[in-house]
Amino acid sequence: MASISLRNVVKRYGKGKHQLQVIHGVNAEVTDREFIVIVGPSGCGKSTLLRMVAGLEEITEGEISIGSRVVNNLEPAERDIAMVFQNYALYPHMSVFDNMAYGLKIKKVPVAEIKTRVDKAAGILELGHLLERKPRQLSGGQRQRVAMGRAIVRQPQVFLFDEPLSNLDAKLRAQTRIEIQKLHRELGITSLFVTHDQVEAMTLAERMIVMNAGVMEQFGTPEEVYHRPGSTFVASFIGSPPMNLLTNAPGGRPRSIMGVRPEHLQVGSAGWELRVETTELLGAERLIYGRLGEEQVIVRSDEAHAAPAPGSTIRVAPREDRVHWFDAVSGKRM
pLDDT digits (tens, 9 = 90+) for 32-64: 999 999 999 999 999 999 999 999 999 999 999
Domain membership of residue 150 (yes or no) is yes
Contacts for 15 with CB less than 8 Å, ≥ 6 apart = none
CA distance 179 to 126: 10
Answer whether residue 225 shows pLDDT above 70: yes
- What phi and psi, each to the nearest 5 degrees, are found at residue 162? -110, 90
**Span 171-176, mean pLDDT?**
84
Residue 129's pLDDT band, with cuts at 50, 70 and 90, is very high
pLDDT of 304: 77
Answer whether residue 88 shows pLDDT above 80: no
Domains identified in the chain, total number: 2
pLDDT of 80: 92
Question: Which range among 36-50, 58-72, 173-187, 224-238 shows the weakest confidence by mean pLDDT?
Answer: 173-187
Domain membership of residue 255 (yes or no) is no
Residue 214 gets the label, from left (phi > 0), alpha (psi -120 to 50) or beta, of left
- β-bridge partners, 212: 215
CATH number, position 123: 3.40.50.300
Q: How many CB atoms lie under 10 A from the CB of residue 322?
A: 13
Average pLDDT, the chain: 92
Domain membership of residue 326 (yes or no) is no
**Span 212-241, mean pLDDT?**
96
User: Does 48 share its domain with 99?
Assistant: yes
Q: How many CB atoms lie under 10 A from the CB of residue 97?
A: 20
Answer whether residue 309 shows pLDDT above 90: yes
State pLDDT tens for residues 233-268: 999 999 989 999 999 877 777 889 999 999 999 998
3-class SS at 198? helix
pLDDT of 203: 93
Please give the residue range of the domain that contains residue 133. Answer: 4-234
First to last CA, the chain: 38
pLDDT of 49: 97
Domain membership of residue 242 (yes or no) is no
User: Does 39 share its domain with 113?
Assistant: yes
Answer whether residue 149 shows pLDDT above 80: yes
User: Does 191 share its domain with 303?
Assistant: no
User: Does 199 share its domain with 106?
Assistant: yes
CATH number, position 281: 2.40.50.140
**Span 116-142, mean pLDDT?**
90
Q: Are 317 and 301 in contact (CB under 8 A)?
A: no
Pick the closest to residue 205 from 188, 222, 217 (CA basis): 222
User: Does 227 share its domain with 267?
Assistant: no
Residue 1's pLDDT band, with cuts at 50, 70 and 90, is low
Q: Are 286 and 205 in contact (CB under 8 A)?
A: no
